[in-house]
Structures are given as structure tokens and as C-alpha cells.
Structure 1
Amino acid sequence: MTTHVWGYLEEYEKEREDILDAVDTVFRSGNLIWGPSLVAFEEEFAGYHGVSHCAGVDNGTNAIVLGLRALGVGEGDEVITVSNTAAPTVLAITLAGATPVFVDIDPQTYLMRVDQVADAITERTRCIVPVHLYGQCVDMDPLKEIAAEHGLFVLEDCAQAHGATQHGRVAGSMGHAAAFSFYPTKILGAYGHAGATITSDAGVDAELKRLRYYGMDRERYYVVTPNGQNSRLDEVHAEILRRKLGRLDEYIADRRRVARVYDEALADTDLVLPATAPGNEHAYYLYVVRHPERDRIIEAMKAHDITLNVSYPWPVHTMSGFSHLGYEPGSLPVTEELAHEIFSLPMYPSLPPKEQERIIEALTATLSTL
């Protein structure tokens, strides 16, 4: 049996009837773009996060791009973030016209070192993008204090943290705005590309909704914002997502159940298991472990027909496409060290107990040979 790391097929089989009904509902309605399903999803997604507004967009990258633009970030500005993230986080900053500036990460949680942010601020800094990575939140209270002190915006990258909480607050509800991806593998996933940006600022939301629609306001064919684009969330995905939103807490509960089994079964191994920061409730988008013999472990597990993922093997600042930023090897030491050691075990809500047991047995046997 091949282990589907993301569980896409298992989820579809379980929810197939509802997913197909969602598609049929939209097709029969005749509203394929900008209809009642999008309006309903935006209201419900904003409500889940306790914020006032949501703008559905075509993918998670543009959720960040348009979020930054709606906050007024552009040419000549700097945005502080991390290099231990998916490249689209950083690409979005450059697409908005700004320059990314990196700080290192915590060696236990792999999240932004908030205590390094103040030293990274310059007169050009306009925004901070904390990445809520792997399913838990960056320490937001001190980060918000730094932002307030320096007059900076905070745009949360929540692509991997749907439903995660910190001190009872849902990821995405703590900054000036927050961006989400609904890529099929996400905790709340669509069946193609989809995203959203949320905020409680009515002015930011109005600009977001202009930016996603060619820069047009209420009047069709009349542009009021010159850097808009075609970036709308379609009705099919909006309808699928609003139905799946009702199951989001169930997905997270199942992920936490899977994580507990790993925690207990692997506690006595020499793997470094996930650490949850104080105040956080981890949603376990990924179950990320650490070992100095990572590559040998991954190769050995292939013999058991088990695929282990690495998120991410190349820190963004080490990629040739970002060499112009001028970061030398060793400039982000924790990020660079972890890139050689971290990897993910299969994690999805419908992971069968027997399959998880097989994964654990194969992994434990592999570790015993190192």
C-alpha cells in the first residue's frame, strides 16, 4: 500500500457525495463567477476567525500579494519575514514590489525569532509577515508590540495554520490582515488553486476587492486602482470550501489524534519531535521531526513504500533566484542547519491506524540501524 502523504484520495472518497453535490449546485445555478456561494463563504470564513471581512482570491500567493498592496506596501518598502517557508511567501513580497528581509527561526518550534525583528527594522520597513508554519502560530503579542512601536503593518501568512489558535485567538485574527491558501493539501483544501485574505479593516477590504477585480470598484470596466489584477475565487471552489469549513474543526481534531499516536510511539527514539510553543494549540498541517541522518532515513523508508516529505530542503535565501538579496551562507544559521535535518511524517485526517502503525514500525526499525 502506497502512503498518500496528503490523504487527498482518502478524503475525496469519504466526502465525494457532498463535493459532487456542491459542484452540481453551482453548475445548475448558472452563477460560475462572483455569485452567492462566494458571498456566503466570505461571510462564514470571516465569522470563523472573528473578523469583519474576507476577500476570496484565486490562490494563496495572490492572497499575500494583494494583502500587501491593500496595506499600501510597494516599491521601495521592506517586509520582514523568514527564509524557512515556502518560496511563494517571499515571491509574493517581491511581486508586491517590496524587498524581503529575513530573520532566523527558533530551533525548537522552527518559527520566526521575534526577538530578532527589531534589529531588522530600517527606515524602509513597512510590514512584517509572520509565517504560522506547520500548524502553529508565531508569538504574536510581542511581534505586535514591535510593529506598533515602529508603525508597521502585520500580515499573517496562515497557509499552513487553518484553525490553529494562540491564547484562544484563531490564526489570522491577530494582525492587520491575514492570507490563506486553500491548495488541495492544506488543512482546509479546495480541489485546485484557491485563497483568501481576511481583515477587520473595512478600507483594506475594499481595496482588496478592487485589486482582485482589475482594480475596478462597483462600476464594471472602470478602473480606480491601477495595479489590480484578475484574481477572483470562483463559485465552485467557494461552495466546496464553505461546506468543508463546517468540517474544519473535525479535520484538526483528527490531525491531533494522529499526532498524539506519533508522539507516544516515537517518544523513546532519537528523533526530535514537534514542540508546541506556550499558548499555542497546534493544528498539525505537518508533523515535522528532526534527525541528523535525515537523508538516510528518507531513503531507507522508500524500501517500505513510504514517502517522507521535506519542508523545506532549500531555505529561500539560499536559492539562486534570490541571490540578489545578498545573504551569504551562514547568515541564518538555525534556518540553514535545520534544512538538512527536518522532515515530515505522513499526516492527514483519514490516515488509517493500521497504516500509521506500519509507518511507525518501519521508521523505528530504520532508526535502530543508524
Structure 2
Amino acid sequence: MLVWGVTIIAVIGVFVFDFYTHVRTPHAPSLRESGTWSLVYIALACVFGLVVWWVWGGTYGGEFFAGYVTEKALSVDNLFVFVIIFAKFAVPRELQQKALLLGIAIALVLRGVFIVLGAAAINAYAWVFYIFGAILLYTAIKLMRESLAGEEAEEDGDADGGRVMRIVRKVLPTTTEFHGDRLVTKVDGHRMATPLLGALVVIGVTDVLFALDSIPAIFGLTQEPYLVFTANALALMGLRQLFFLLGGLLDRLVYLSHGLSVILAFIAVKLILHALHENTLPFINGGESVHVPEISTGLSLGVIAATLLIAAVASLLKSRRGGGAGGALDQPHASAGAGSAHPAPGTGPDAAGGPTRTNRSGKAAPDADGDGPGR
């Protein structure tokens, strides 16, 4: 419990530090600021992983790194949807940081609930691994089909969170204009939400929807709740900076969804094999364990890293051959003009919404027993 307590306090401290040093005063972060802090958070995750490796051994260390890399890749896929959300709510670039940070904090709290429930279910019922495996396999197949089909976003039902946007607008009386970085304001004596609060709520809820496949995915790599939580927390911590760092590079990652579908399918197979090994269902092998090979942590980490590397290289090669969205990353503050290949996030309510491509949910989106860690 001491380890858990210290970790939670540290996570809260990082978010508070981030808010008071970067987000409290509205501004559009520069490429240098975003890049520096993205590297800081990645380095923090690497140091934490090495500490886990040193204190609890290579098995747990490898599990953390596999989980972190997977969650980081899945979180990058979220960014495409965030572009659309900001465009729909017409959030100015200098206010996007606050919505991102608070939305991610909300999502992390809700993911913590999912992790507790998932860990409890796994400890009580070994057959839950079958369900997790089926969810991931379904998501992987659907994502690959949608990616190959190249479906484009529709006007109001395109991104994950599209339905949430409509619900938020119906439930929360919202002003049509922003009032600085306020989430709530008074209009004619009545309290009303600003579009920034609407965007924040949609980001938080949307990220929880993404957790429906990312949480089962990481449980396929480690059954240690502590590692599941820390991998999620560290992956989400630098998401705000990554959003501004990648900028126009998002539309060049055309094969990211393909790579993620391969990773999710691989983890699904790993989960199903583990479920067979731990089998207690009477209609499968008479309720006895099925002797099947189990995929090692080292192999998992290798497959995940290789898949992401291939997807990234293939994406950049395709972008270079096709002319790509050249210059978008070098001009992060460019507006969505007639000649811009990728509009800056949040340039208007009906902005192009960034590159159109499918994300892992299948909807179109812009562009070892023992004393383990935390026990």
C-alpha cells in the first residue's frame, strides 16, 4: 500500500506541476517547449521502468515497458480524435492545453476504476481472459477493415465522442463564445458552460471509451494492477505535449491504425492462449488446463516495437513518395488556409478536422505469482 500511496501522490504532483507551470497561463506552446517536455516524460517512464526492472526483476520490467509502449501508441491514436473535438468546439489553440490536461486527468481517474474492476474480475474468474481476448480480436479486425477501406469522416457522427458532443450540448447550456479560459461563466445572471468545458468533458469521456480496448490490451501483457496503472499514467502524462509536438505529422502516420490492429490481434491471441492455459470452463477440455504455448514478455515487447517501427517507417516513406503534408510540422502555428495540407488544431468549428482516417475503434477520425510491484 505504501508503494501505491507514493505513486498516486507522485502522479497528482506531476499534474499539479504541469498545470501551474504550463497550463495556468493560456498560451500556444512552441515546438521546442512541446518537444522538451515530451522527452522529459518519456525519460521519466524509462527511468521508472528501469527501477521496476532493478527492484522486481526483468520479468516485471519487461512487462512494464511492453505495456507502456502499447499504451503510448494507442494514446497517439487518440490525438486524431482530439483534433476533431477541438475543431467542432472551435477551441482556440492557446486554450487547448487546459482542456487536454484536465480531460486527461479525468480519464486517468476513470481508468483507475476500470483497472480495479478488471483486476478483481481476473483474480476471481480466469475466463475473463477469453472476454478480453475476444474484445481485442474484434477491435483489431474491425480496425483493419476500416483502415483498408479508408472510410472518411461524416459531418456529425465521425469521431469517437461525436455522440458525446451532442449529449453534452443538450445537457449543458453552453455559450457560443469563449470567456478566456473559464469553464463556467454567467450570462444574464445564469450560469452557463463555455465551449471549453464541453470540449473537456468530451475528451475525458472519449478517452474512457478508448480504455475499453486499451485496458484489456495491457492486461494481456501484465496482470499486475500496479504496472497497468503506472503504464497508463505515464503514457497519458505526456499526451498534451505530444499533441502539440506532432502537429502536422499526425496526417503522415497513415499506417498507424494498421500497426495498432496487428498489435491488438497479437495481444488477443496472447490472452486467449493464457486463458486456455488457466482454463476452468467445463465445456473446454472438461474444465482442465489446455497445454498450449504461452507468449513470453520478451517476444511481446519485440513484436510491439517492431510493428510500430515498421508502421512508422512505412507511413513516412509513403508520405515522402506522395508529397505528404510537407511542412506541417515545421509550421505548427499555420492556419487552415487554402494551401495548408493540415489545419492547425482548433482553427474553427467546421475546420477540415485534420487528416481523415480510421482509429482503433473503427470510426473515422481526423486525419507469475510472487511479490510483484505494488503488492
**TM-score normalised by length of structure 2:** 0.25
- More helix, by proportion: 2
Larger relative contact order (C-alpha < 8 A, sep ≥ 6)? 2
